[in-house]
Amino acid sequence: MNAIETKLEQTDKAFISYMMGNATLAADYATLVEQGTSIVEIGVPFTDPVADGAVIQAAGLKALRAGIMLTSIFETIAKIPVKTAPIVLMTYLNPIFAMGYKTFAKTCRETGVSGVIVPDLPFEENATLKKYLDAENIILITLITATTTAERMQRIMQEARGFIYAVTVKGVTGERQAFSDEVFTFLEKVKKSTKVPVMAGFGISTATQVTEMLPHCDGVIVGSRIVHLLEEKQAEQIGELIAATRV
């Protein structure tokens, strides 16, 4: 089994923490592990992050100005001795294309990356990359939104491994004040359609929101709030968010 599948099989309600791949990557990863995160999603800074809101865009720009790129992120991940929390890379397609699909997949395996999310790669066009990732036992994770058609959702479910990334908002990442009942209905619909764990992501930023989401899914993904708290060195508040999955 892939490390993501093993971790989620052992976890009741999962907490996936998003962090930007930056100059403090190793220290930030250690902080998230210490606070009890299930999985760590590491963002690759990119010049045109179409799925990201203001907080993550700013963090990515800061990382780019510091000279951080996909290759340096791989180098840092490789130096993390024990990856207690499986690592998922969130990257746009261009950096992968520039590196080469085969080289990218091989480097994921060699450095200890267990999964990949590519938000600007349509499901219908993922066959080539998926072939190389499958060969290295790296999971390509697909996003599903409330506007995904039933037919398309079914095809995605047939190939899904690791977890389903269920997008809870219409728009980019970033903290939201509240979620409608439509979101919970959407999550339950996805959950009933697959045996693969369903993770709710985009917009979740408080312990209350985590608690509200959990009855309708298998775990949550928190990004912008985690990025902000890491920058402010507020590890205790990160721990409080993660602890909400265990209430």
What's the Cα-to-Cα distance from 232 to each of 17, 118, 226, rounded to whole Å?
16, 28, 10
Q: How far apart are CA 41 and CA 113, in angstroms?
A: 10
Query: Who's near 197: CB < 8 A, 6+ residues apart?
Result: 8, 14, 162, 163, 164, 218, 219
The reply to whether 212 belongs to the active site is: no
The reply to whether 52 belongs to the active site is: yes
In the set 5, 41, 175, 218, the catalytic residue is 41
DSSP classification of residue 222: E
Interaxial angle between packed helices 127-135 and 101-111, expressed in degrees from 0 to 180 and rounded to the nearest 10: 40
Q: How far apart are CA 118 and CA 191, in angstroms?
A: 22
Residue of 102, 103, 95, 147 lying closest to 121 (CA atoms): 95
In the set 52, 175, 212, 218, the catalytic residue is 52
Residues classed as catalytic: 41, 52
